[in-house]
Chain A
Amino acid sequence: MEAEQSLLERCDLWGCIQCGKCTGGCPVSFKTTLNIRRLVYQALVEGELSPDGMAELWDCTTCGTCVLRCPKEVEPSDLIIALRTTLVDGGVIPPSIRDALTSVFRHGNPSLMPPDERADWAEGLGVKNISEGADTLYFVGCIPSYDDRAQKVAKALVKVFQKAEVDFGILGVEEKCCCNEVRRVGEEGLFEYMVEEQRELFKGYGVQHIVTTSPHCFNTFKNEYEGLDIKVQHYTQFVAELIEGGRLTFTGELNKVVTYHDPCFLGKQNGVFDEPRRILRSIPGLEFREMDRNRDRSLCCEGGGGRMWWEGTNPEEKLATSRFEEVLSVGADVMAVACPFCLLTFELAAKAGGYDEKVQVLDIMELVAQVI
């Protein structure tokens, strides 16, 4: 940990001109008191910044919009993560986030689930373990491993892989949390510890190619696992290749109007906008319609950056709810997603807002699996 470094040494904020583009684009700035532009200014003026009592720091979804749009290449969300680190170190942290971190450390997943049940979802599917050797490691992720709803996505992806005759394996009970969110809630120490472990695991099995369910795992493997010399793809990238290379062919039709919600960690943060759309457009019978806010202007679902484990300072107002108004306005039957966080967040909001009768929230793989 870099506890001795001052805040301004840890975060390079001096380039900031206080233009407000960060706060202007922040998806939660309208619903909470979090104002990242002001925090940056306070940090510069005061040199140090005490995060005590700043509950709104936990509202940040780490969607990356502030970083993406800053004209001066300042990374404002670094400051939030640094302040969270101070809070984590001092133990001043929402209990649900603390529990998630403890669970990652003890069980390898944030949901207090038993590690030896991690691969139960794959029982009877004929999925081999990576120890048997395979071209591709399918990194399932915590939520698709344990959550009933998200397991359907993992199963759909397995069906797709099998149909396309992909030689793949999973880590089974050895798989552990990628720790993308662990890092974002400020637990850098745990992140580094877990990275070390996973890297050795991948190395041990001679993994050359990883495909993830979650854009969050994809992001951290691709950008933050130092020295990981492995090709990492989100499943949308890989499956688009399978379809376009003629390895995956459709046998049925899907007569639905479908729109797509860009996950922040896939779209804004990693520029993967086209592949999910290409997959959807290739499905026979499917009519694809864009929402007004798409691609770089997509709206965060509020599931990232630890928000999966904490509902924030203003739980009444959900961005996911407003998103459904947009889905309805384009006349879509299905809101397609490509991220387990988005899937669960939107399903919850759909039920709470009564949208579930009009709109189905489905992962792209669930749609594909219906027509192969």
Chain B
Amino acid sequence: MSLFYYTFIPIVIAFIAYFLNKKIKLSLAILNSVVFAYLFYQISRLYNQWNIPHETISYYMFDREIQLIFQLTPLSWLFIFMTTGAGLLIAIFTIKSQQEYVLRSSFHLNFAILIGSILGVVLAGDFLTLFIFWEIMTWSSFFLISSGKKKAAQKASYRYIILSTIGAYLMVTALFIIYNQIHTFGYNQVAAHLSGLPITESIILIIMLAIPFIIKAGVFPFHVWVNGAHSNAPKEFSPFLSGLMLKVGIYGVILLLYFVPLYNILKESVNYRGLPIFNYILAIFGGITVITGTILAIRQEDVKRLVAFSSISQMGYIIMALAISTPLGFTGGLLHLMNHMIFKTTIFLSIAAVIYRTKTTKMSEMGGLIFKMPVTFTAYLIAIIALAGIPPTNGFISKWVIYQALIDKGYIFLSVAAFFGSIGSFMYVFKPLSTIFLGQLKPEHENIKEVPFLMQLPMFVLMALILLFGILPGLQMNLINQISQLLNIQPVGFTLYSITGAFGKWNSLVIFSLFVGGFLLAFIIFISAKKSKQVGLMDTYTSGEYMDDPEAYHYAYQYFRPFDRVFDSFAARSLTVIYDTFAQNIVKLGNLFRKSIVTGNGQTYAFYMVLFIVILAFAGWII
């Protein structure tokens, strides 16, 4: 199948199904699932066929030939594989979860277009193709975000689209400047041209090209759109937004730094401890992203906001690892990118399942759901173990590689940021676990059931993946080393069970078997002791008080208040406030301008007319 069809099929099918959906309920969700499944199958067959030639599709617009170029590399294969995989799982999830959702048709329309456009971005062979699909992606995701919670989603999607537009303008300006000089958009030609320019000029152009990607990746100081968009988007779209949309930004960063490769130009500039200053600043921003994301995630009372901030913090890891540009850092970044997609999608899907049943996102309005929704709980539990980086899950492996890379280079600040984010993640992932799934069950949730099987299925698949890649990281390393070879990065040594770091390696099979041993021993001791009597959750030690209201007996609101007190002043001075103040000042300036000219007084306008005629007279046009 031609590469072009991968982007074309979802977009066309989406429109067909949109009109079909008006007649037959749910046809769109099922059709989407089938199409994504087909694409997923086709893409998995493309593995190892890296010698497919470039494809060029040209058409004429205003008498000018415009070419769309597509190409397949191991790097783009990784992203198209992840995109269609996540899309497929989410499409299956939505079949059941969106039965009562009003904007269902437009959701699926936009979702399919989004998948098609992401495939286009990733398969693009030059900057023009990339930019066209990039814009389609921005707009379809904008519509998706804005179809969430009413008012808040509007505001969040505006923030998203404004930042994206700024990025797009910068990118298109840089591209036109370059096009004017060399009349081509090809990756290699652009790189060759940039390396011929004076160093400051080329660095400014590189930054202009990089900013849209950094905005999409949600890196400080452009992370302000992420939390609003993630928390207010439809519950089925949040997993995709966090699991994949952010990663497309990372794809752009990898593309620019290594594939194009502008890293070679940056190396010529000022270096700090052997690292180009641009990379160093990017890594520092990554570190700041980790810290801010963590601190703000701990404070949240809305579960989707909490997970959104955790996404911000995890993206910081990936950026940090990629920016320090050692082989180990690159490998760790890519590993974490894949693993983050897997476990964050799981977390958001399990949260979506909870929201589907309880119809709320406030953590303090839930509690004790573990006995009602055990599968959802297990999915959430395994995913947060991965997020916190605890073995034997995939999250541990990628974080371990990132730490090795950071310590190897001796970057103190970055390592402290990484560890802070990791230990802080224990805090923020435990908060939903404790307040939603554990603790006292609310009386109104007495009749809640587990979600339908079609919603459980994606969670099961993702749980299996978390454990699989936690025990056999070699499966992922195989592909990553092919990418490293493509990008001229020295591959990292690995076997099926272990990865060689800077200071040694470990064996995940031994870890796993010791886990089994430890748990078995504990289980045998537990079973051999006397059987215990089951009592209710209200039957606990209360210091002699009589408690009859489970709602009042659930510790959920402001779970980490002592910690939050420390950072109250920090959170109050958030970047969002600074941006808002900036926006208000612009409006004020505009008002000042408007008031001094558009006064609403007839005499002023008469004066303008006279002035106009006088000026014309002076110019000699009338007389």
> Bound pair: A and B?
no
Which residues of A are interface residues toward B (Cβ below 8 A)?
A: none
Which residues of B are interface residues toward A (Cβ below 8 A)?
A: none
